[in-house]
Amino acid sequence: MKQFLVVILAFFSIGVGTSYAQIQSGGFSPLPFTYSNEQNTIVGKRNTQPLFYKIPYNGEQDNKEEKTSRFVVGKSFAVDYSPLNAGQQFTTEDGTTIWRIGFYSPNAASISVVFDEFEIPEGASIFVYNPSQTNVAGAFTSINNNSNKSLPIAPFASDSIIIEYQQPATVTFNGKLRIGRVTHNAIDFINRSTGSFNSAEKCSPHAAFVEGVSNIKQATCLLYVTDNSESWLGSGVMINNSEGKPYLLTAAHNYEGTNLEQTTIFYFNYEVPKVDSLIRGSQEFTLGGSVLKAKAYDIDFALVELNQMPPADYRPYLAGWNRASSDLAPMVCVQHPQGDVKRVSTDNDNPLAVTYPYNDLLETKLADAHWKITRWEKGTTEPGSSGSGLFDNNYRIIGGLTGGNSTCNSPVEDYFFRLNKAWSYYSSESKQLKRWLDPTNTNVMYMDGRNPYEATPCIRYSNVQSADVMGKVSVGNGKTGRLSGHNELQYTEFAEKFVTDTNNYLYGVYIVPFIGKYNVNTPVNVHVYNGTSSPETLLTTVLFNPKTLAYQATSQTFAQTTKTQFLNRENYVRFPNPVLVDEEFFVSYSITYQPVDSFAVYMVNNRAIDALNTAYYKDNGIWKSFTEHPYKPMASSLWIEPVFQEANESLIFYPHDEDANAILFPNPCDSEIQVFRKETNTAQFSLFSIQGTLLFTISSIENPLTINTSGLQQGIYFLQITRDDTSNTYKLIKK
């Protein structure tokens, strides 16, 4: 009997800049490690506890017979570490308190942590990073405070990690932090194929290449779940509801324990690009934590509400659902088999209503609570697919995967819990879907899916055309090096042009290098320009990767390191604030020369010279089209793909809610904005920066209320409106 829950203790190493285990704020960074030793900046040390703590992992502890429903490859451990009893603290000259704690576990492929107590004041920041500081999660700020008072952090591909908390002297209360769980991950998910990239069975096609699933694949995500003994992977799917809440449906056996949903990490957009299935998908789009709404083990369904709606640049989708029992074929399942990129299985026949036949996952089983897929026409399911959605012929969810026997050689007998059985079989709200998906009791049989940002959706834009071939292009003609990177000609900046119909807010960019060897002495920077015929007005610059430090476990000291790898994978660079760009704009990357041949990006290499060209390079300060290249003239496009949102006057509600209690107009705004509310009564209006800093709070009964925004800088803000015990938050854009 195949088991669908992959237990892992390692997953992704985030490749560029920061990872996003929850919504994180830009514009911050951890201090250099040597900062605590610079006595001219230190007021005083508050304790001298050891910095690093060893995780008590022993490979012999892996007992794979303990739980037959889980394939154990590593271990988690309950701990109790806080600024009160562990780590090192000091105070800087401006009164900021710094707390650091590190964990190491010899031969660990990665380490993850869970804060089971997390509540910090406005102005404070927390970072988690590997000792080389090539991967940095954060800044986590007061925006990340939640009702669970917890924070899960995604795994880091290192056997040593550091956590750093920064608390300014001016905060209103001392932060409450406690690390309650650490995980030794035993499999290297970066360099090994098992449970990693392209490890799934080859008969299941990549989601990017299957027509019709473009929306529902955006609803599907990978779950990383931990308890105090082990960690595992599953799949889940975001599901639509009349209140527009960020609900996610998965299998109950993914949450076989207490409060596991609170520390789950959800990975979105992990899929290969349609351009090339050998390029690993982006791993930066993650969210952390959720609240359990309903669960029934004998049906094997669980419904959770994410702690926040995925941001617009995640491009989420709330999948529709169907309670019908007939005329459902053909069927589609989108999944993350073995923790791999999204794959698809299809079946042309109607499923059969049956009782789940095995005893491996469900101790008690409700009769006829499952759909049986007799045989897949294409694809299969695997460990890690548990909880993935089964969709009908209208791409509406009818169930989720429990288990089965299918393989590529014998794609038969998979079982999905039935959504219509989970709907209201039990009267308790905590064991049914009806209360949450249809709270107003409309008794509808189905609901279509939707984009929660449908009024102003983010799109991923590409200049690559269907007939294009991406290549690793050399200069040639007697000159060494790469056309789109380090070469003998020593060109230092390369840009891609984008033409749209409107002004847009640029959230971030995908960049796909084929040489990604970072050198600490030659950093790569990403730039955004407005311009028509060439890059003209510089709008922003961000570092492609921060400078690095390496921890030497033997000497317990830090030293500079010179490189990290980004090659052959999508790297998403998310800007600290969305950048307002014109209809025509450019995204570039700049390099320096020492050493040669350390960075270059894939580019189209099969276009005719008179075809579309969107690629440019800088030669002695002058921008030129690649069609003018002195040694290799060609029409091309660089593999750079921006994610942007149309900048218009419509309401952008965050999180999205069709029944918003207020409207902000105009939005984007210039010197003022008006807030129209459904109810006229006294309310508190609090404006926050995108980093979570409180800018002002006022109380008013005015309706509409006019707010002066002339003093705000260009960017995104959040207006929180509180009345009685109810708060709603709206996104405000300043031009």
pLDDT of residue 93: 85
- Strands 136-140, 18-19: pairing is parallel
More confident residue, 277 or 323: 323
Is the model's pLDDT at 45 over the cut of 70?
Answer: no
Mean pLDDT on 228-232:
82
Element holding 46 (H helix, E strand):
strand 42-48
636-677 pLDDT, tens digit per residue, is: 999 999 999 998 644 333 333 444 578 888 888 888 888 887
pLDDT of residue 564: 53
pLDDT of residue 518: 56
Is the model's pLDDT at 21 over the cut of 50?
Answer: no
Is the model's pLDDT at 324 over the cut of 70?
Answer: yes
Token pair, residue 270, equals 């992990």
Element holding 184 (H helix, E strand):
strand 176-185
Alpha carbon 730 to its chain's center: 22
Residue type, 288: G
Mean pLDDT on 111-131:
87
Per CATH, 14-57+77-185 and 459-646 having the same topology is answered yes
Mean pLDDT on 350-374:
91
Most confident by average pLDDT, 11-15, 250-254, 260-264: 250-254
Rounded Cα distance, 112 and 548, in Å? 20
Show contacts of 674-680: CB within 8 Å, 24+ apart. 674/704, 674/705, 674/706, 674/707, 675/703, 675/704, 675/705, 675/706, 675/707, 675/719, 675/721, 676/703, 676/704, 677/703, 677/704, 677/705, 677/721, 679/703, 679/723
Residue position matching structure tokens 């999948």: 319
User: How big is the chain by its Cα radius of gyration, in Å?
Assistant: 26
Residue type, 286: T
More confident residue, 565 or 313: 313
Lowest mean pLDDT among 131-140, 158-167, 290-299, 372-381: 131-140
Please, which pLDDT band fits residue 151 given cuts at 50, 70 and 90? confident
Q: Secondary structure of 83-108 in the HEC alphabet?
A: CCCCCEEEEECCCCEEEEEEEECCCC
Assess contact for 329 and 393: CB atoms under 8 A. yes
Q: Domain 662-734: what homologous superfamily?
A: Macroglobulin (MG2) domain (2.60.40.1930)
Rounded Cα distance, 563 and 30, in Å? 19
Lowest mean pLDDT among 16-30, 276-290, 476-490: 16-30
Nearest to 373 by CA among 338, 404, 327, 419: 404
Token pair, residue 597, equals 């041949």
Sorted by sequence, the CB contacts under 8 Å of residue 176 that are 6+ apart come out as 117, 118, 119, 120, 149
Mean pLDDT on 377-396:
95
Percent of the chain predicted with pLDDT > 90: 53
The alpha carbon torsion through 170, 173, 174, 176 (nearest 10 deg) reads -140
Nearest to 306 by CA among 267, 340, 341: 267
682-694 pLDDT, tens digit per residue, is: 888 989 887 667 8
pLDDT of residue 383: 87
**Domain residue ranges of the chain, discontinuous segments joined by +:** 14-57+77-185, 207-447, 459-646, 662-734
Q: In what order do the strands lie in the sheet with 504-511?
A: 458-460, 640-646, 504-511, 571-581
Architecture of domain 459-646: Sandwich (2.60)
Is the model's pLDDT at 153 over the cut of 70?
Answer: yes
Percent of the chain predicted with pLDDT > 70: 83
51 backbone dihedrals φ, ψ, rounded to 5°:
-80, -45
Lowest mean pLDDT among 32-41, 112-121, 221-230: 32-41
pLDDT of residue 555: 40
161-199 pLDDT, tens digit per residue, is: 899 999 999 999 999 999 999 988 776 444 333 345 777
Is the model's pLDDT at 506 over the cut of 60?
Answer: yes
pLDDT of residue 545: 61
Q: Which sign does the torsion angle of CA 582, 539, 514, 25 carry?
A: negative
0.85 exceeded by the pTM?
Answer: no
Is the model's pLDDT at 26 over the cut of 50?
Answer: no
Mean pLDDT on 591-599:
75
Sorted by sequence, the CB contacts under 8 Å of residue 625 that are 6+ apart come out as 613, 615, 616
Mean pLDDT on 8-19:
32
pLDDT of residue 118: 93
As a whole number, the mean pLDDT across the chain is 83
Please, which pLDDT band fits residue 612 given cuts at 50, 70 and 90? very high
pLDDT of residue 516: 81
pLDDT of residue 559: 33
Please, which pLDDT band fits residue 69 given cuts at 50, 70 and 90? very low
Lowest mean pLDDT among 35-44, 158-167, 215-224, 406-415: 35-44
Strand partners, 615: 496
Residue type, 372: K
Residue position matching structure tokens 């102003």: 456
546-589 pLDDT, tens digit per residue, is: 323 333 334 433 333 333 557 888 888 888 788 999 999 999 99
Domain 207-447 of CATH type 2.40.10.120: yes
Rounded Cα distance, 357 and 300, in Å? 13
pLDDT of residue 48: 47
Sorted by sequence, the CB contacts under 8 Å of residue 652 that are 6+ apart come out as 312, 453, 455, 456, 667, 730, 731, 733
More confident residue, 163 or 284: 163
Lowest mean pLDDT among 277-281, 538-542, 544-548, 675-679: 544-548
407-440 pLDDT, tens digit per residue, is: 999 999 999 999 999 999 999 999 999 999 999 9
pLDDT of residue 19: 34
**Topology of domain 14-57+77-185, per CATH?**
Jelly Rolls (2.60.120)
Mean pLDDT on 525-544:
94
More confident residue, 230 or 645: 645
Indicate the SS3 state at residue 216: helix
pLDDT of residue 636: 98
Residue position matching structure tokens 């069709």: 658
Most confident by average pLDDT, 402-416, 509-523, 561-575, 700-714: 402-416
Sorted by sequence, the CB contacts under 8 Å of residue 206 that are 6+ apart come out as 271, 272, 277, 341, 342, 343, 344
Mean pLDDT on 469-497:
95
